[in-house]
A = this chain, B = another copy of it.
Amino acid sequence: MLFQNITVLDENFEVRSNYYVGVRDDRIAYCSDQPPKEDFGEIYDGTNRLLIPSFYNMHSHLPMVFLRGYGENLPLMTWLQTRIFPFEAHLTDDDIYYGCLMGIAEMLRYGIGATEEMYIRQDPLGRAFAESGVKANFAQCCNGFGDEGYFDLPIYKETLETIQKYNGAADGRIRAEFSLHAEYTSTEKIVRGLAETAAKYGSSMHVHVSETAGEVQACRERHGGKSPVRYLADCGLFSVPTVAAHVVHVDDEDIAILKEYGVTVATCPKSNAKLASGICPVSALLKAGVNVAIGTDSVASNNNLNMIEEMRFFNLLQKAATLDPTVITPKETLFAATRAGALAQQRADCGLVKVGFKADLTVLELDRIYLQPEYNVLNNLIYSAAGNDVALTMVDGRVLYRDGNYPTLDIEWITAECEQRRLRILGELAGE
């Protein structure tokens, strides 16, 4: 495909107007203000459209689409214990598979091409990611409160099997990884065993860290004054490439540790606000040189996968929290939503519009009254655009969303399956 006469945010997020971007197989093969001599097949008219790298959603639980709006405006523990956990106890592998496909449709609708996925089962995620064409690092998160170690948990064997089956599958597009739910839902024996296994397999790690003030306080009480960041680092969890989600309540020592181990922080600004956890100190993390990416968390605590809206919260919350309007720029914001995720997932050749990079691309409509005038299209993207201005999402050179259509997903069937399964579970819950 050749994107023609399109506006592009280039590898430095500078605006290039009337540009030509050619895609050959799974890669960007041409970028210029001059038309190419070669033929790239279909010509896509980019007039009044913007081409950017597709977004990375760096903390996600896609199958929780069933739970969007199920239990709102409740304190966190009431919400989890009376709504979320009882419902999730009824989810079968196939429920999770269909829920994941539904979530994938939503991520594509919002221009997200890659996800960092953590949920309660791994194999159905792998099936959904393999079939749909999106990029994903995904894991089943482990927890345990007893005397057992990681090697005793059923998840140990399952994860090894899934790693075997999915890691690097689809030409590296999907990767099974390891995940710890959190410090407060595990024992030290489990954390150390998990860290050891991940190191052995050279796989990456995904973990919830320091989401609430209460979590940090309780951890310090349990672990001789250590914060969750310090404790997990000491257990060896960060010895593999790690994505730490949330990271709301951290001090300078924590930030230095995150930087030292090259941990990526996946901040979830809307979810942290909605669950009243607080505001992640993004600007302090960036200042310290930590790689900061953006996650939506699940739609149960967000309640959508609208990455443009998420970028807006990411940006504006920092300004509100620091009382400094210059503390974060549109470029830093777009970087966090694109390239920072690619770097976190060790996809060095992803997350930018650049020759030789994977063709993971999102096209946005610019012909909107709320995008006029156009002093700088990047400013308009970060501060004015709507999430559903997305017209096309492409991953590895393959169109996965275009003008309301999902070439790899039977959206009507998936929607019907999800609705039927949701009603079945509600029926089961009512019968309890």
**A residues near B, CB below 8 A?**
65-66, 68-70, 72-76, 79, 102, 105-106, 109-110, 213, 270, 272-279, 299, 302-306, 309, 312-313, 316-317, 319-320, 322-327, 329-330, 368-370, 372-376, 379-380, 383-384, 386-389, 411, 415, 418-419, 422
B72 close to A324 (CB less than 8 A)? no
User: Which 8 A-B residue pairings sit nearest by Cβ, starting from the closest?
Assistant: A273-B320, A273-B316, A303-B383, A276-B325, A69-B375, A69-B379, A276-B319, A303-B384
Beyond contacts A65-B372, A278-B323: 7 other A-B pairs, Cβ-Cβ < 8 A, are: A68-B372, A68-B380, A69-B374, A73-B326, A79-B325, A276-B322, A276-B324
Partner of A74, one of B322, B325, B387: B325
Partner of A384, one of B75, B299, B330, B369: B299
Known A274-B383, A383-B69, A383-B72; judge A105-B327 contact (CB<8 A): no
Copies of chain A in the complex:
2
Closest to A326 in B: B73
Name the B residues within 8 Å of A313 (CB-CB): 313, 316
Name the B residues within 8 Å of A299 (CB-CB): 370, 384
Name the B residues within 8 Å of A302 (CB-CB): 383
Known A309-B312, A380-B303, A383-B302; judge A274-B72 contact (CB<8 A): no
Expressed in whole angstroms, the minimum distance between the Cβ of A299 and any Cβ of chain B is 7
Most chain B CB atoms below 10 A, which of A312, A322, A380:
A312
What CA separation (Å) do A389 and B302 show in the bound complex?
Answer: 18
What CA separation (Å) do A388 and B274 show in the bound complex?
Answer: 22
B325 close to A373 (CB less than 8 A)? no
What CA separation (Å) do A325 and B378 show in the bound complex?
Answer: 33
